[in-house]
A and B are shown apart, each in its own frame.
Chain A
Amino acid sequence: MMSNTTWNLDPSLESTALVQIKPQYELFIDGKWQAPLSKTYFDSINPADETHLAKIAWANQADVDLAVRAARTAYTNVWSQLSGAERGKYLFRIARLMQEKARELAVLETLDGGKPIREARDVDVPLACNHFFYYAGWADKLLEAFPGQNPAALGVAGQITPWNFPLLMLAWKIAPALACGNTVVLKPAETTSLTALKFAEICQEAGLPPGVVNIVTGYGDTGAALVAHPDLDKIAFTGSTAVGKQIQKACIGTTKKLTLELGGKSANIILEDAPIDQAVEGVINAIFFNQGHVCCAGSRLFVQESIATQVLDKLKFRLQSIYVGNPLDKNTDIGAINSKKQLETIERYIQLGLEEGAEIYQPTCELPSAGYYCKPTLFTDVAQSARIVQEEIFGPVLTIQTFRTIEEVVQKANNTPYGLAAGIWTDKGARIFGVSQQLQAGVVWANTYNKFDPASPFGGYKESGFGREGGLHGLRAYLKFPN
């Protein structure tokens, strides 16, 4: 007797009642909200339904200059005069306030950026809080962290964050900078400024001295003005490799210390002895986490030939229970693509994949009529020379290749300009170490993927960038060592 049961989940929407969004946001400079000298504003919209959220100040060069001056004054007069323990107190206070406002921050992150509330609630916000707690603890232990090296703050840091993990990337940047005694001017991505502005309110509430954290909002020109400012000691950037190269050029001949965390096209490798169901689940997490808007996303899957059919069948079946839709629904697995521009980029790559002759698989699912959405997409029959295999798509698109030997897969995995992350799935511990030693990637996950912790350093090889964020290594990026 076959049953005809269908059991569809009802909508389960997270309430937005907790979130206060102002109609208009000014620049956060010297502890105050200041109208932009540029007199211009841009619109922030919700990518899930294209509704207007707020007007946001668009900083020009003069605004950036004000912010850098405020940061310099705060550094010289206040922040550099405080002991590490005092700085740590502020950071602990900020971390606690973020925890208190966790639900509000999560909903805001989802509204502004389109990520599923489950991820904002369970990953982004808790991790961001943990980064502040972690670096708060280091603030008075820098001498112990670098014994005999006499570590000292750099001064003022210009920081530019991406739109995929807005609050988390802010935490990765601001927490170690402040712990090491620097002051900052941070420019969030133009599509996702709101949690950074909410963070500015938290800094006010925490009583952080004016000018220690400054937030200048705007597009790429604002970021360029920041990078070009002569009175910065440090630039930290997370974003695309193309923009990273421009920034590196702009810093040539200056004394600015630079860290870049850029793109990736990371290999996820399943060997034939892997725990297969868990590996399939790991592939889902590796590529569809945050709509695939993850610099370290496992976007190239390599499966050993003897299990390739089984893995592919299981992946296709698993995709049937992936919910794509309203990011505020607690059951949503894949939310909205962050912007119209990014959706067009992803769609262009999917079209390119078809033109390159790859086999496409997308599950049958209804997408909302308004907003920017993309079905989870698998491409098989792809060649190493295909552009969809070589170039970062930054969306829910997975290319699947097979291999016969470990030597072959290591070569193919490394055959990319990028080197951010990789995954290896096998039941044999010796193989985990054997293969990961040969992979040119900043992070290699074994029998898991996309695991982050404040105590663990993160960063890339090759064109995925340089410098490390997180852990003890993350402190080094915001310190100088005079002797």
Chain B
Amino acid sequence: MLPPRNNPDLISLLAKSPTIDQTGSIERVARIQARSLKGAAKLQGLRMALSMIDLTTLEGKDTPGKVRQLCFKAQHLHDQTSDLPKVAAVCVYPSMVGIAKKALGDSGIKVASVSTAFPSGQAPFSVKKDDTLFALENGADEIDMVISRGRFLAGDYQFVFDEIAAIKELCTSARLKVIFETGELDSLDQVRKISDLSIAAGADFIKTSTGKIQPAATFPVVLTMLGAIKDHYDRTGQMIGMKPAGGISSAKLALQHLLLVKEVLGEAWLTNEWYRFGASSLANDLLLQYQKQLTGKYQSAAYFSID
């Protein structure tokens, strides 16, 4: 393979990415995890987390019926409990975007579509472009694209940058989330580098994982990405969104992630405009804990629908 050719501007951009110390990152996260959430603050946290969910189904065996059920759940998380927030979005494959769009109607819940040959990204750009255009034409409000990890690891940063920028150009009104698949990257230094690169290329959100590879949204990885968002904001005043995805299945983990956001980025990010959880099973644990917080009693999981 030919040595990668990177534009000098891109080289100088990446040279500014600070180095990340793994041990220190783990210690910072431990401080957050030692925080104790009680009472009204816990209730508020659970509501926030519910409102930030991208309710997701990304399976080869997905059918229109399955997607319609998911969309119903998105609008009716638990009708036995009054005044619950709605989730932020439903996240599906491009082929399901039209069905989801119709099922969600004017609920205000967004349709997010994965794209660019999700999850591997191993396709020619023309395919990735068509994939994205198809999702957009069917009404996707948000595009969750994957980066070309192989090119990134090979040092071909220009290729990765150009690809993100080209997809961004297609998303005239849709918001673009860029998925790194951090489980395939080698170190926190790499995570920081791809965060800085993606933000410069036009990402509206940066997202950890596809959910198909482990480890996914680990705390040190998320902390590193939040650090990149913070530094970008301090430099430019522009907010970038964050979406951890994969492995966040309990309310406890979700609340710890929100505390991390509060301390690292600030409260301005504590809204689904700027923060999302990519999750398929998180909602029910949040609902279970929410009921517990309201009534003081745990209910059986059997009282919560499994769509």
The residues of A with any CB-CB pair to B shorter than 8 Å are: 1-3, 5-12, 118, 122, 273-279, 281-282, 285, 313, 321, 330-331, 427, 447-448
Known: A9-B36, A275-B24. 14 other contacts (CB 8 A): A5-B48, A5-B271, A7-B45, A12-B36, A276-B18, A278-B20, A278-B24, A278-B25, A281-B24, A281-B27, A313-B234, A321-B262, A331-B35, A447-B23
- Beyond A12-B36, A12-B38, whether A6 also contacts B267 by CB under 8 A is yes
- Residue among A1, A12, A282 having the largest count of chain B Cβ atoms under 10 Å: A12
The answer to whether residues A3 and B267 also contact, given A278-B28, A447-B21, A447-B24 and a CB cut-off of 8 A, is: yes
Chain A residues within 8 Å of B37, by CB: 9-10, 12
Nearest to B262 among chain A residues (CB) is A7
Which of chain A's residues have a CB closer than 8 A to the CB of B2? none
User: Would B19 and A275 count as touching, CB distance under 8 A?
Assistant: yes
In the assembled complex, which residues on chain A have CB atoms less than 8 Å from the CB atom of B267?
3, 5-7
Say yes or no: is B42 at the interface (Cβ < 8 Å to chain A). Answer: yes
Give every chain B residue within 8 A of A275 (Cβ-Cβ): 18-21, 24
B268 interface hit (Cβ, 8 Å): yes
User: Once the chains bind, are A10 and B39 in contact (CB under 8 Å)?
Assistant: yes
Taking the complex as formed, is B1 at the interface, i.e. its CB lies under 8 A from any CB of chain A?
no
Residues in chain A near residue B234, CB distance under 8 A: 313
23 contacts between A and B (CB under 8 A): A1-B271, A3-B270, A3-B273, A3-B274, A5-B48, A6-B267, A7-B48, A7-B270, A9-B38, A12-B36, A12-B38, A118-B34, A275-B20, A275-B21, A275-B24, A277-B24, A278-B20, A278-B21, A278-B25, A313-B234, A321-B263, A447-B21, A448-B24
Asked whether B273 lies within 8 Å of A448 as measured between CB atoms, the reply is no
Residues of A within 8 A of B42 (CB): 10
Q: Is B246 an interface residue (CB 8 A)?
A: no
8 Å CB contact of A448 from B23, B39, B270 = B23
Q: Contact at A427–B45, with CB atoms within 8 Å?
A: no
Residues of chain A contacted by B227 (CB below 8 angstroms): 277
Min CB distance, B227 to chain A, in Å? Answer: 5
CB distance from A125 to the nearest CB of B (A): 15
On whether A3 and B271 interact (CB within 8 A), knowing A12-B36, A313-B234, the answer reads: yes
Among residues of B, the one whose C-beta sits closest to the C-beta of A425 is B21
Task: Please give, as numbers and ranges, the residues of chain B lying within 8 Å of A277 by CB-CB distance.
Answer: 18, 20, 24-25, 28, 227
Interface string of B208-242 (1 = CB under 8 A from A): 00000000000000000001000000100000000
Q: How far is the CA of A122 from the CA of B28 in the complex (A)?
A: 15
Nearest A residue to B32, CB-CB: A321
Partner of B38 from the list A7, A11, A122 (CB cut-off 8 Å) is A11
| Residue B41 at the chain A interface, CB threshold 8 Å | yes
B228 to chain A: closest residue by CB: A277
